[in-house]
Amino acid sequence: MLDVRRREFIALVGGAAAWPLAARAQQRTMPVIGFLSTRSPAESAEHVAAFRRGLGESGYVEGQNVAVEYRWAEGEGDRLSALAADLVSRKVAVIAAVGGPTSGLAAKAATSAIPTVFISNDPVRIGLVASLNRPGGNATGVNVFLQEMEGKRLGLLREIVPTASLIAVLLNPQGADVEVQKRSIDEGARAVGQPIHVLNASNQRDIHAAFEDLARLKAGGLLVAANPFFNSRREQIVTLTAHYRIPAIYEVREFAVAGGLMSYGTSLPDAYRQVGIYTARILNGEQPADLPVMQATKFEFVINLKTAKTLGLEVPPTLSARADEVIE
């Protein structure tokens, strides 16, 4: 009887000792996603939630059967290379490179083996993929068209300030798509006969200086060109437009929600959800080379009527009727 009890005790102790080992083994086998963003966590909560929704459509839940390592550049593009290299050193299963094309380019430079899912504008032109239908290599993602829309945004702004003798454009000269943006802006300006003046900004100090120049120019409106750095400085830019009482249009809805006058562009939450979907498909065994680059199909035009009233602007009924969302 004593021998039986002794064997039972040893088996019990041995089983208990194996539990944490089993738990650690399960943790080691849980796939890890590297999330590389040009933006900051404070202003990306909605986008991260959308990314998780995309993962969830294939049954992946962060903390349960998948882990996510987050790396944030906080609007400082020169940090991306080191952050991407860190994710590669941790041997993540997939890299979700978001926030702008520079994230995808940093991931591409860091690894040719780890699958990468990006959000970018014109990924073929900047060298992220060989083609949209058959990307080749280790990367695929979502084409968001943000930079090609600058001319459209300029036209919408002019509708609300039709008598403006000059409209200023805030542009980041270090942006990956700056030449595409310039062409779109120039074409839009010629189409409506609108004189423009470009103000360059690539850091926080430049933004303040640009708004001081804008005031001296007495511009009647401002187009804030699409750029991840400007997204990361959203509160600063919206506060300055309110201080200088300048009507402005931006690329994404978050600016209008924060108090900006208008926004027009791709729905970024929908793009992040699509990144989550592709990330899950790769975790399930599909190859990025065989996954066509998705084309963004959801666009949003938002008008903040409260801001328009503060600026003393009358929003034309024809303009508000075209808006997807009107913030009262």
Residues 230 and 280 reside in one and the same domain = no
Residues 129 and 197 reside in one and the same domain = no
In a domain, 1, yes or no: no
Q: Does this model's pTM top 0.95? A: no
Residue-by-residue pLDDT tens, the chain, 328 positions: 434 444 443 443 344 444 343 444 444 589 999 999 998 898 889 999 999 999 999 999 999 999 999 999 987 888 999 999 999 999 999 999 998 888 999 999 999 999 999 999 889 988 999 999 999 899 999 998 766 688 899 999 999 999 999 999 999 998 777 888 888 899 889 988 999 999 999 988 999 999 999 999 999 999 999 888 898 889 999 999 999 999 999 998 999 999 999 999 989 899 999 999 999 999 999 999 999 999 988 889 999 999 999 999 999 999 999 999 999 8
C-alpha 12/C-alpha 7 separation (Å) is 9
Domain that holds residue 239: 147-266+300-327
Residues 139 and 278 reside in one and the same domain = yes
CATH number at residue 65: 3.40.50.2300
Q: Across the beta sheet with 32-37, what order do the strands follow?
A: 67-72, 32-37, 94-98, 116-120, 139-143, 294-295
The CA angle 231-291-60, to the nearest 5 degrees, is 70
Q: How many residues does the chain have?
A: 328
The count of domains in the chain is 2
Residues 46 and 101 reside in one and the same domain = yes
Residues 312 and 202 reside in one and the same domain = yes
Residues 88 and 171 reside in one and the same domain = no
In a domain, 291, yes or no: yes
Helix (H) or strand (E) holding 95: strand 94-98
Strand ranges (DSSP E) for 162-290? Answer: 167-171, 196-200, 221-224, 248-250, 262-266
Residues 44 and 30 reside in one and the same domain = yes
